[in-house]
Amino acid sequence: MKITLKVWRQKDSKSKGEFKTYEHSHVSPDMSFLEMLDVLNTELIKKKEEPISFDHDCREGICGMCSLYINGHPHGPLQTTTCQLHMRSFSDGETITIEPWRAKAFPVIKDLVVDRSAFDRIQQAGGYVNVNTGGVPDGNAIPIPKMIADEAFDAATCIGCGACVAACKNASAMLFVGAKVSQFALLPQGKVEAKQRVEKMVAQMDAEGFGACTNTYACEAECPKGIKITNIARMNREYLGAMLTSYKVEVGGGE
Amino acid sequence: MVNSINTAQYYTMKWFLDLFSSSLGKKLLMSLTGIFLILFLTVHLAGNLQLLKGDGGKSFNIYAEFMGTNPLIQFVSKGNFALILVHIIWAIMLTIKNRESRGAKGYAITNKKSTWASRNMAFLGFLILIFIVIHIQNFYYKAHFGTLPMQVYDGTEIKDLYTEVAFIFSQWWYVAIYTVCMIGLAFHLWHGFTSAFQTLGLNHMKYNPVISFIGKAYAVIVPALFAYIPVKMFFFS
């Protein structure tokens, strides 16, 4: 296969950046998209040119590290991660445009690499369950209906890649935050801290500069893990309920 | 740690301000005002359909006189204006925030996987706003502050709004403007109706098909009937 690549090149976060065109003739249809870029980078290094920077890690579709906005779609034309996208999804002689995620909260660091630490900070704001150390509790001690477990697991399959933000015309992170709120809100272990969790995570999401959802559902259509917009509705319910009813207690014992 | 608090913020209703300054709180306002405006449209349409009764405008004029003088209706009417204003102001605030969030640099290529209406709610809303301004100038302002001819029904003299409506709708460009704006309203409702429920968190497998069906039917039928009134009055009077 021979393809033409139009790749966004940007030296660092302060540079302006521009598209550069590369002719790539050593492409096999069985290569993954990232392998195709690896081969191109090897050629660039041999020619003593700066290789293209892009994010990747597990290459198994589970880590959420790879990104790339390919021909107008996050993770390319299929609803999968870029590492699981193969060159057979493209035709011989095709021109492929590769851009980084675009969002104010995801600034470009270099070439196709963006800073997604905003997602980490949202998680740190409340996307966890506080547990006391001690022995492992018995698996059946807390009954959880299979359906609820499945729903929570579906929400938990969100790998935090940021495709939802990249696809959204408002760069809204609500599918991500909705999934992260839901995976705990559905389960008894998560319900304990549900109110403060959703309040803090939504506040952090706003502080990071993500937009507000206008229910276009482009995120759901592009999410490589098929996270459902029901999670956004659940976050809306949880947040509204929490804001209207949450309270704190002043500890006065022993004084 | 969790319990260390500043009690003052709970007494000063800081949480209330936090709620409505958050992205989700702003969306909540859009949703609630939107649902109220949908209810308003229904009542407004029911009243307007009396224009087609063919009784020379008697029932419409009596209805308009009632709406223009009843204190409760007047109160709701003022509230309605306020809610339209809230809907517009919060829409502008959200749109500005959303544009900022997208960042300075856009994509070279985008393939949309969403409906046209859902992406163009601000434009459609602006079209409706222009319509509201024209519409208020045409009727509401004239009925309340302007001079209209009078009609006597059963011994009482009331304003003859019907004749004014018939005059406006005898001019083709007004009929054209009204029809185009109603198409805009239809697209706005096509997305807005169901969207309002999603924002409220009312997304449930059992009720989604019902909400979606009613929303789509409403988005087609109500603007179509609104547009039918000027078209019929233009061609058949």
Q: What letter would DSSP give residue B201?
A: T
The minimal CB distance from B7 to the residues A172, A210, A250 is found for: A250
Low-confidence residues in chain B, pLDDT < 70 = 1-12
> What's the total number of domains in chain B?
1
From A139's Cα to the closest Cα of chain B, the distance in A is 29
Tens digit of pLDDT for each residue in B119-172? 999 999 999 999 999 999 988 888 888 888 888 888 888 889 999 999 999 999
**Any idea where the domains of chain A sit in the sequence?**
3-110, 117-245
pLDDT value at position B2?
46
- Chain A positions touching B194 (Cβ under 8 A) are 215
Task: Let me know if residue B104 belongs to a domain.
Answer: no
Cα-Cα-Cα-Cα torsion B117, B120, B123, B125, nearest 10 degrees, comes to 50
pLDDT at position B1 is 40
| Range of A183-187, A248-252, B149-153 with top mean pLDDT | A183-187
The per-residue pLDDT for B10 is 58
pLDDT > 90: what percent of chain A?
90
Query: What whole-number distance in Å separates Cα of residue A35 and Cα of residue A59?
Result: 10
For A24-37, write each residue's pLDDT tens digit. 999 999 999 999 99
pLDDT per position as a tens digit, A199-209: 999 999 999 99
Is the CATH code 3.30.565.10 the one for domain A3-110? no
For residue range A85-105, list pLDDT tens digits in order: 999 999 999 999 999 999 999
* pLDDT at site A5: 97
pLDDT band at A250 (very low <50, low <70, confident <90, very high): confident
What CATH number does the domain containing B38 carry? 1.20.1300.10
**CA B9 remoteness from chain centre:** 36
Say which of B24, B100, B101 has its CB closest to residue A239: B24
| d(C-alpha B205, C-alpha B222), whole Å | 26
- In this prediction, residues A177-191 reach a mean pLDDT of 95
Q: What is the pLDDT of residue B54?
A: 84
Residue count of chain B, please give it. Answer: 237
CA distance A101 to A54: 11
Domain ranges, residue B213: 22-99+111-235
Contact A209 B108 (CB under 8 A): no
pLDDT value at residue A249: 77
Does A214 sit within 8 Å of B195, measured CB to CB? yes
CATH class of A117-245: mainly alpha
Q: What is the pLDDT of residue B141?
A: 85
The answer to the question of residue B149 being in a domain is yes
